[in-house]
Amino acid sequence: MKATNGRKKSRTKLIILCVAAVLALAVISVGTYFLTDLYGVGGSSEEQTVTIEQGAGSSGIAATLEKEGIIRSSFGFRVYMKLTGESRTLYYGNFTLRQNMSYGEILDTLSKAPMRDDLVMVTIPEGYRADQIAAVLEDAGVCSAEDFMNSINNDTFDYDFLNEIPDNPDRAIRIEGYLYPETYSFAPDTPAKDVVNTMLSLFDQRVPAELRATAADLGYTFDEMLTLASIIQLEASGDTEEMAKVSAVFHNRLKWTDQPRLLGSTPTTGTVYGEKYDTNKYEGLPPGPFCNPSLDCIKAALNPEPDFDYYYFVTDKNMNFYYTKTYEEHNAVIASLQADGLWL
């Protein structure tokens, strides 16, 4: 009996060793596969033209590179971008690439705009509404304002953050706030849907899921915090030093329990989006963003100034900010500014 048990134990050990060896070989093989792809080892040095479509996000770019044989694994390429923080702007167009290029070399190439004489450079200022963006695009000859507005109101775009926008009949424009303000290059007469998709793709890169998820820590959805960011954009006028404080004031007001939770933002009165957006009449956050805010405003909405227990603020004609804790103090500041000729 003892001899038999010994043989069984030996066989068990042998099986374990064999399984371990197979697993080790598999790990080595997979590791070698990804490393050779990462550095372009064994790839051809022959140059080939690869077309990156306008509006393609990181996943679409990786899929195109794999399809064209520049890389072996689109998954590995996406993981590399994630781990190395490669969130730089990647351009569309025709690029000269080789199979023996490393992931880093490929990204360096894609981050430089391809040389084209017909591209139009268009700057979308921070805080512009969708209709203002439409006018800029039409003036630049990129697409018509009508086509752009039709696209943002009717076309479907595949982004997780858009799927999280609630259905609200009072919301003026569903994707207002998500059209990232930046300088873009477009070919003349670009289809409006491609233009919108390019802006949404850049929003996805600059405002990643990890940042959007922090809204839940504050007890809000990201769309609600984007709406707040648009109000901060209107109120702080691009003053990054005041944004977090303005954000804190609004967060404090949203927590009011002894009086109506009116944000009381003057720029929200009489907007093109109608009465339901007036934070002096309706409690809480309005149905949606007023404009397309900067990344600084988005971060301020998600990161209000800590331990800042103020509930009112005003600015003078020189854009100096004054914060107060009570309504009486607030009115006293206004009276003082009026007396000094500093009131807006």
Per-residue pLDDT tens digits for 153-204: 999 999 999 999 999 999 999 999 999 999 998 989 999 999 999 999 999 9
pLDDT of res. 142: 96
Q: What is the pLDDT of residue 7?
A: 60
Phi, psi dihedral angles at 100 (to 5 degrees): -90, 15
Question: How large is the average pLDDT for residues 75-99?
Answer: 81
Of the ranges 5-14, 142-151, 238-247, 334-343, the best mean pLDDT one: 142-151
What's the CATH number of domain 120-206, 3.40.30, 3.30.360, 3.30.70, 3.30.1490?
A: 3.30.1490
In angstroms, what CA-CA distances link 162 with 58, 118, 220, 236, 294? 17, 32, 16, 26, 18
In this prediction, residues 254-269 reach a mean pLDDT of 94
| Mean pLDDT confidence for 68-96 | 82
d(CA 191, CA 188): 9
H or E, element range at 240: helix 240-254
| Structure-token match 């999280």, residue found | 164
Structure token digits, residue 61: 């770019």
Lowest model confidence (mean pLDDT) among 118-122, 215-219, 308-312: 118-122
Structure confidence at residue 147 as a pLDDT band (50, 70, 90):
very high
335 in helix, strand or coil? helix
Confidence at residue 54, expressed as pLDDT on a 0 to 100 scale = 74
Average pLDDT, the chain: 88
In the predicted model, is pLDDT for residue 268 greater than 60?
Answer: yes
Per-residue pLDDT for 344 more than 70? Answer: yes
Question: Could you tell me the two tokens for 87?
Answer: 């969130």
End-to-end CA separation in angstroms for the chain: 100
pLDDT of residue 30: 54
Nearest-angstrom CA–CA distance, 197 and 126: 18
Answer yes or no: same fold for 48-110 and 120-206.
Answer: yes
The residue type found at 121 is: M
Residue with the two structure tokens 């971060």: 299
Tokens of 27: 């790990």
Fold classification of 48-110 is Dna Ligase; domain 1 (3.30.1490)
Are 229 and 286 a contacting pair, CB within 8 Å?
A: no
Q: For residues 93 and 76, what is the distance between their CA atoms, to the nearest angstrom?
A: 23
What's the average model confidence in pLDDT over 263-280? 92
Please choose, from the candidates 90, 72, 70, the residue with its C-alpha nearest in 3D space to the C-alpha of residue 81. 90
For residue 15, the one-letter residue type is I
pLDDT at 74 over 60: yes
Lowest mean pLDDT among 8-22, 109-123, 178-192, 238-252: 8-22
Residues in the chain: 344
| pTM, two decimal places | 0.70
Average pLDDT over residues 221-245: 93
The dihedral built from the CA positions of residue 215, 216, 221 and 224, taken in this order, carries a sign that is negative
Q: If 0-12 CB within 10 Å is exposed, 13-18 middle and 19+ buried, where does residue 211 land? A: middle
Alpha-carbon span 204 to 211, nearest angstrom: 10
Share of the chain above pLDDT 90, in %: 65
Look at residue 308 and give its three-state secondary structure. Answer: coil
Q: Please check the confidence at residue 130 and state whether its pLDDT lies above 80.
A: yes
pLDDT at 269 over 80: yes
Rg (CA), the chain: 27
pLDDT of residue 21: 57
Which residues are CB-contacts of 252 (< 8 A; sequence separation ≥ 6)?
308, 309, 310, 311
Strand residue runs (E) in 266-333: 312-315, 321-324
Residue closest to 140 by CA, chosen among 89, 185, 196, 100: 185
- 5-9, 40-44, 71-75: range with lowest mean pLDDT: 5-9
The model's confidence at residue 1, banded by pLDDT at 50, 70 and 90, is: very low
Write the single-letter amino acid at 26.
Answer: A
pLDDT of residue 162: 95
Q: Residue 39 in contact with residue 104, Cβ under 8 Å?
A: no
Q: Where are the domains of the chain?
A: 48-110, 120-206, 209-339
